[in-house]
Amino acid sequence: MMKLFNYLLHHDEGIDPTLAEWIHNVIDDFFQVDSFVLISIGIIGILTFPIILLILTRKYKQP
């Protein structure tokens, strides 16, 4: 799991593994669901917004 964090960094310094584990535990404790569920909800949310905008622009398009 730590290799994933090191790969996704945007700077040269590594992430503190204790801090990364703490953040992961806080998120897990707050939502109390599987990580797959959170990722799925995020992807659905990201894809839903542009689809709604597309539908609304076509519905209210000026002639």
How far from chain centre, in Å, is Cα 15?
A: 19
More confident residue, 17 or 63: 17
* Helix and strand totals (H; E) in the chain: 3, 0
Residue 33, classed as helix, strand or coil, is coil
Closest CA to 16 of 7, 25, 26, 6: 6
Per-residue confidence at 22, pLDDT binned at 50, 70, 90? very high
Helix 17-31 and helix 35-59, axial crossing angle in degrees, nearest 10: 70
Per-residue confidence at 35, pLDDT binned at 50, 70, 90? confident
Structure-token pair, residue 39: 């990722």
User: Could you say which DSSP state residue 13 is in?
Assistant: S
Q: What pLDDT is attached to residue 33?
A: 85
pTM: 0.51
- Ordered by start, the domain boundaries in the chain are 34-63
